[in-house]
Structure 1
Amino acid sequence: MPELPEVEVVRRGLDKWVRNRRIDAVEVLDPRSTRRHLDGPEDFQQTLTGCTVASVVRRGKFLWMELDGLDTPAALVAHLGMSGQLLIEESDAPDEKHLKVRLSLSDLADTPAELRFVDQRIFGGMFLSPLVPTADSKAGGAGSISAFIPQAASHIARDVLDPARSVEDLYLSLRKKTTQLKRAILDQEIISGVGNIYADEALWQAGLLGLRNTATIRRNEVSRLNDALIDVMTRALAAGGTSFDSLYVNVNGASGYFARSLNAYGREGKPCLRCLDNGRESLIRRDPFMGRSSYTCPVCQPRPRRQPRA
């Protein structure tokens, strides 16, 4: 599933090509992709038609477009799921095999005319959600100065790169829990935008093991982790995100290449690069974790003496 850097790459592409354009027509080719719009696909089409995209916003992995032209403030939420793609295309471009929703946009010189939602596995979708005030009266997310957020995303914590979030916020949130550190940073209500890949990368960079009990974590350790999360996300964003197959692409269909820079994730049996630089020998190990995997170095990410209950 795409994490913060991948979704931010998509947001920036949409901001360039879609913001300030009117939605002239909407076509739902597969109603399953609008199932979260409880009033049905016909209402989805009718409500969106004639609206203008005022801004494209992201918080964590959540992506939405604030709309002008509605009686009640609302946003078009795009949930990418496991395989969702938002692509900018010319109107005469062939339909993608798994095209689910097509938005025809107002004419703009030298700009593709359609926004297409493509989803192979149909875990994602698009829907309208009312805008509600943010709990802290600050901007809803990246790309907006408005202190509103879709109701569907209002439970999501501020993300790793949000300037309205502080390391003290993270420390206090972690200390309230008695759980494994990796589980905590994957909890989108504690800090949003982090998924399995970047959790492993940040924990490796901070020299902390995901099995660590959050109730015992110290401020200096949270500061290291916070710095690592910001650094990993920033570098991944600069590389266009992480793509292991053709499912994650930006709005122009290009893949990210941060996978080439991973230090822990997916490197089972390979030397730990930090240990190698320090003249030590250790191999990255893989352990099962919540139906997925965790990749760690047994030397520079020491195991805790006591492990919290899962």
Structure 2
Amino acid sequence: MPELPEVETVRDGLDRFVVGSVVRRVEVLRGYSVRRHEGGSLDFAGRLTGRRLAAAVRRGKFLWLPLSDDDGPGAPAAPAGPPAGLPGEALLAHLGMSGQLLVRGGESADDWRHPHLRVRLHLEGAPLIDGTPAHYLDFVDQRTFGHLSVQDLVPDDEALPGGPASPAGSALPDHPSLPAGLGSDLPLLPEPVAHIARDLLDPYVDRAEVARRVRRRRTQIKRALLDQTLVSGVGNIYADEALWRAGVHGRRPTERMRQADALRVLDAATEVMREALGHGGTSFDALYVNVNGESGYFERSLNVYGREGEPCRRCGTEVRREQFMNRSSYYCPRCQRAPRS
């Protein structure tokens, strides 16, 4: 499943190639892919048609594109989205296991359709790609766990202990004007994302408070890393990589961890995701690609994930695999001592 670096790679591509364009027509080829949209396929298409994609925003693994009205010829290429009436609407995307958002340029793109194309947005006025504007934004999903929907934006009511002071002229009364996600200055996010915590690449995340929340949970550290209400964006691959870097076993009880140990794990997770982002994410097959259809290659730098039986890159001990929540955990038994039962 795409994790934060993969989703951020897609967000960056959308920001460069489709933000500012107007949706002129919507094709829903499979209704199940818009199952989270309350009004169904026809309402989904109607709510998007004639709207401008104002920004590309991400929190954790969720992506959304705030919508604004098309002001016609001469309108700014990338309007900021709401503020006038606040809060507004957004096109929300969750990639699930195999979802892809692919940008297609040129009239001839309509001659070839991906076999797993589920939704196509016909665009007008997009930025140029190699001299050609994007004509389509395709949602492709082989396993159909992903989904698109148009959702209301709501204020981000997250408390931010120790965070920066609210700037003057806050967009919402009595609400800190802090961006709710990377890619927008608005303190607004889609309602289904309201329960998702900030991620470790968010400049406004309070790392010390996240570590304290982790230690207050009576659980195991890997389970805590995967809890999107504690910290978002970390999935199975990067959790294993972060724990290996921090020298912590995934089954270590969080309530027995010192603050410094919890912070070390969070710092390791931040580090590994920054590196993965620099490589365009991790891809083991053709299911994860960026908006141009290119795969990330961070898998070449993985230290434990998927390396069962191979020597640990740090100490040479054989990497082991164990079952974890219907998935697998990979670890070095020497670098990451298992906790006593």
- Both proteins in one fold, TM over 0.5: yes
1:287 aligns with 2:322: yes
1:123 to 110, 122, 145: 145
Give the Cα–Cα distance (whole angstroms) in 2 for the partners of residues 135 and 246 of structure 1.
38
Q: SS of 1:302's equivalent?
A: coil
Report the equivalent of 1:200. 240
SS at match of 1:113: strand
Q: Is the 8 A contact 1:78 1:127 kept in 2?
A: yes
Contact 2:215 2:259 in 1 (8 A): no
Gaps of 5+ in 2: 70-81, 159-175
CA offsets 1:72-129 (integer angstroms, 9 cap, x no match): 7111001111111100013422011011111011134522211000111111111011
Could you tell me which residue of structure 1 aligns to residue 163 of structure 2?
none
Query: Which stretch of the first structure deviates more once superposed, 66-75 or 131-140?
Result: 66-75
For each residue in 1:15-45, what CA deviation from the matched residue of structure 2 results, as whole angstroms up to 9, or x when unmatched?
0011111111111111111111011110111
- Tell me the residue number matched to 1:92: 108
What is the alpha-carbon distance in structure 1 between the residues aligned to residue 125 and residue 98 of structure 2?
29
For the 8 Å contact 1:105–1:115, the answer to whether it is kept is yes
> In structure 1, how many angstroms separate the alpha carbons of the residues matched to 2:266 and 2:218?
19
SS in 2 for 1:251: coil
Q: Are 2:272 and 1:232 equivalent residues in the alignment?
A: yes
SS of the residue 1:97 aligns to: coil
Determine the C-alpha separation between the residues in 2 that align with 1:54 and 1:233: 27
Give 1:23's aligned residue. 23
Query: Quick one: distance in 1 between partners of 2:331 and 2:250?
Result: 9
Distance in 1 between the 2:215 and 2:308 partners? Answer: 31
Q: Contact 1:58/1:143 (CA < 8 Å) preserved in 2?
A: yes
CA RMSD across the alignment: 1.3
Cα distance between partner residues in 2 of 1:129 and 1:210: 36
Percent identity, aligned pairs only, is 53
TM-score of the aligned structures, taking structure 2 as reference length: 0.86
Tell me how far 1:245 sits from its aligned partner. 0.5
**TM-score normalized with structure 1 length:** 0.95
Aligned length: 301
1:33 aligns with 2:73: no
Alignment gaps of 5+ in structure 1: 277-281
Q: Distance in 2 between matches of 1:241 and 1:79?
A: 16
